[in-house]
């Protein structure tokens, strides 16, 4: 077998309790003037005050934008950039959930290249390097600290939009699990379930060939040896500790596992990409106004079931990584056990079991399937191909809660 792999990551990834204290030294390597993107919640914390004092002690001038809103409305990026332009930052530091990190990436993009955010929607539209971004997550989920994507919401578009470019990868990711200790259980569950979905979708993504043009023409290229390595690490850590972190938010070891799992999942899907669960969530999220992580996790068992015939081996490996004891199970049975275990785990942490329970209107199932089918970059990454009829059947099965029907 000849190996094929591709991976794109930040230059520096720091992980561990207390690593936030490295921020001033990391920042000094990029300049002395920092735009900080965060939200009002984090800006009001004692930890944020400590971070500002430490940057000041290192003679780093800061401009704080604390107006980040969930899902990064397009216009909020203009507000941030207009406020910060006169400050002439050398770098952008994003601190907060995925929304704050995505805002930092968008602000760095517009400050560096001008124009409007919508000029860059899609893949490879960013013309060159941006101001360096330092990403410091306070949720354990999106993986945005290491991925080449920023997701925004646009009042002119029904579905959320992505800007995908290797130039959007942060220069440095600083992951300190202490920052996640304050996450309430619902956020821990939804963000962690998003991370497990990233890892499973990256690990079961299509193999898209070994052609030298693949990674040059696509940001997301399907599974390969290095992304598999990170995906399996993520599945192991999240399988071991996501439920624990939800049951006892004060469990520091579980919090660290979940944050490392989210980081590793980001390392995997940032190059491999995600697939059908993420594609279907886009229209579902637009209609139900439910959190991204909740939607993808609701869909994941049904998508695994749909992919079971095409990804039997991979799903069996997912089962092993989740800690299912293999004795006596053949590969097909292990694949089935993996699907059941993901369903059990998600139910245990309060993930909605069906699209119906998520609030999807019954008369919008066809529209949902059509929109999901149209998201080519995700659909072509799915290991089992789709036609529109197959997508409609899968959406119906996920609506009804019929795991067996989703395999057809
Ligand atoms: N760029 C990527 O690669 C990528 C990947 C997946 C999702 N996303 C995007 O990320 C966004 C979701 O990010 P998210 O799930 O991290 O949530 P978020 O950033 O939208 O934050 C949700 C809420 O949680 C609060 N919060 C954050 N950290 C907290 C903490 N430590 N304690 C208490 N409250 C806290 C925030 O203040 C906010 O009110 C969506 O817009 C999604 O589309 C991006
Ligand atoms: Fe996601």
CATH code, domain carrying 86: 3.40.50.1970
Tell me the pLDDT of the chain (408 aa) as tens digits: 578 999 999 999 999 999 999 999 999 999 999 999 999 999 999 999 999 999 999 999 999 999 999 999 999 999 999 999 999 999 999 999 999 999 999 999 999 999 999 999 999 999 999 999 999 999 999 999 999 999 999 999 999 999 999 999 999 999 999 999 999 999 999 999 999 999 999 999 999 988 999 999 999 999 999 999 999 999 999 999 999 999 999 999 999 999 999 999 999 999 999 999 999 999 999 999 999 999 999 999 999 999 999 999 999 999 999 999 878 899 999 999 999 999 999 999 999 999 999 999 999 999 999 999 999 989 999 999 999 999 999 999 999 999 999 998
Structure tokens at 295: 């939607």
If we measure between CA atoms, which residue out of 192, 321, 202 comes closest to residue 259?
192
Ligand closest to Cα of 201 equals: 2
CATH code for position 300:
1.20.1090.10
Domain shared by 340 and 236, yes or no: yes
- CA-proximal residue: ligand 1, atom 12 (nearest): 98
- CA-proximal residue: ligand 1, atom 24 (nearest): 97
Confidence (pTM): 0.97
In which residue are the tokens 């893949």 written? 123
Domain shared by 158 and 199, yes or no: no
Domain shared by 132 and 32, yes or no: yes
Structure tokens at 368: 């949902």
Domain shared by 26 and 130, yes or no: yes
| 42 Cα nearest atom in ligand 1 | 37
> Ligand 1 centre from 47 Cα, in Å?
18
Given 116, 141, 175, the domain boundary residue is 175
> Ligand 2 centre from 193 Cα, in Å?
9
- Which residues form the pocket of ligand 1, taking CB atoms under 6 Å from any ligand atom? 39, 41, 70-72, 96-100, 102, 138-139, 141-144, 147, 149-151, 179-180, 182-183, 187, 191, 194, 292-293
Mutating to test ligand 1, I would choose from 45, 70, 147, 201 the residue with most ligand atoms within 8 A of its C-beta, which is 70
For residue 6, is it within any domain? no
Ligand closest to Cα of 177 equals: 1
If we measure between CA atoms, which residue out of 42, 109, 33, 32 comes closest to residue 78?
109
Domain shared by 224 and 372, yes or no: yes
Q: What is the pLDDT of residue 142?
A: 96
> Ligand 1 centre from 80 Cα, in Å?
18
Burial of 18 (0-12, 13-18, 19+ CB in 10 A): exposed
Contact 172, 26 (CB under 8 A): yes
Domain shared by 82 and 192, yes or no: no
> Ligand 2 centre from 278 Cα, in Å?
6
Task: List the domain range (segments joined by +) for residue 154.
Answer: 19-175
Structure tokens at 160: 């959320």
For residue 294, is it within any domain? yes
* Residues by chain with Cβ below 5 Å of ion ligand 2: 194
> Ligand 1 centre from 292 Cα, in Å?
9
For residue 9, is it within any domain? no
Domain shared by 68 and 170, yes or no: yes
- The 8-class DSSP code of residue 222 comes to B
Given 124, 140, 175, the domain boundary residue is 175
For residue 70, is it within any domain? yes
Q: What is the pLDDT of residue 2?
A: 74
Domain shared by 266 and 358, yes or no: yes
For residue 10, is it within any domain? no
Give the distance, in angstroms, between the CA of residue 86 and the centroid of all CA atoms in the same chain: 32
Domain shared by 280 and 153, yes or no: no
Distances (CA, A) of 143 to 44, 61, 258, 260: 24, 28, 11, 10
Ligand closest to Cα of 147 equals: 1
Mutating to test ligand 1, I would choose from 9, 98, 166, 220 the residue with most ligand atoms within 8 A of its C-beta, which is 98
For residue 166, is it within any domain? yes
Domain shared by 290 and 375, yes or no: yes
Ligand closest to Cα of 149 equals: 1
Q: How many domains does the chain have?
A: 2
CB under 8 Å to 49, separation ≥6 — which residues? none
Domain shared by 370 and 306, yes or no: yes
For residue 8, is it within any domain? no
Given 145, 175, 205, the domain boundary residue is 175
Range 181-187 contact pairs with CB under 8 angstroms and sequence separation of 24 or more: 181/249, 181/250, 181/252, 181/255, 182/45, 182/138, 183/138, 183/139, 183/140, 183/249, 184/249, 185/246, 185/249, 185/350, 186/350, 187/97, 187/139
Q: What is the pLDDT of residue 1?
A: 58
Query: What SS3 state is found at 137?
Result: strand
Contact 322, 338 (CB under 8 A): yes
Domain shared by 265 and 153, yes or no: no
For residues 395 and 368, give the distance between their C-alpha atoms in angstroms, rounded to a whole number: 8
For residue 241, is it within any domain? yes
């Amino acid at each position: 077998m000849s190996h094929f792999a591709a991976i794109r990551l930040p230059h520096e990834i720091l992980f561990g309790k207390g690593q936030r204290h490295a921020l001033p030294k990391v920042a000094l390597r990029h300049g002395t003037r920092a735009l900080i993107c965060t939200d009002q919640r984090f800006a009001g914390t004692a930890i944020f005050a400590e971070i500002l004092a430490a940057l000041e002690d290192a003679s780093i001038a800061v401009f704080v934008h604390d107006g980040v809103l969930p899902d990064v409305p397009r216009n909020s990026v203009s507000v941030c950039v207009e406020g910060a332009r006169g400050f002439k930052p050398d770098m952008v530091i994003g601190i907060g959930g995925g929304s704050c990190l995505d805002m930092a990436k968008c602000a760095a993009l517009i400050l560096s290249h001008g124009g409007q955010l919508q000029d860059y929607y899609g893949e490879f539209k960013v013309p060159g390097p941006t101001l360096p971004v330092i990403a410091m997550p306070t949720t354990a989920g999106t993986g945005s600290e290491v991925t080449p994507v920023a997701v925004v919401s646009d009042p002119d578009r029904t579905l959320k939009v992505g800007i995908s470019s290797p130039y959007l990868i942060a220069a440095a990711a600083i992951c300190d699990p202490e920052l996640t200790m304050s996450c309430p259980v619902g956020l821990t569950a939804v963000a962690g379930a998003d991370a497990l979905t990233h890892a499973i979708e990256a690990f079961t993504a299509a193999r898209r060939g070994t052609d030298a043009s693949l990674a040059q023409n696509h940001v997301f290229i399907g599974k390969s040896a290095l992304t598999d390595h990170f995906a399996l690490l993520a599945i192991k850590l999240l399988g071991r500790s996501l439920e624990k972190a939800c049951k006892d938010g004060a469990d520091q070891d579980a919090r660290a596992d979940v944050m490392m799992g989210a980081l590793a999942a980001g390392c995997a899907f940032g190059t491999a990409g995600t697939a059908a669960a993420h594609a279907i969530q886009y229209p579902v999220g637009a209609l139900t106004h439910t959190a991204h992580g909740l939607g993808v996790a609701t869909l994941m068992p049904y998508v695994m079931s749909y992919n079971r015939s095409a990804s039997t081996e991979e799903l069996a490996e997912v089962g092993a990584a989740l800690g299912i004891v293999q004795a006596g199970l053949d590969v097909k049975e292990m694949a089935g056990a993996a699907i059941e275990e993901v369903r059990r785990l998600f139910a245990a942490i309060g993930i909605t079991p069906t699209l119906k329970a998520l609030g999807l209107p019954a008369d919008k199932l066809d529209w949902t399937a059509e929109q999901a089918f149209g998201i080519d970059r995700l659909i072509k990454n799915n290991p089992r191909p789709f036609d529109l009829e197959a997508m409609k059947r899968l959406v119906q099965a996920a609506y009804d809660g019929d795991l067996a029907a989703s395999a057809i």
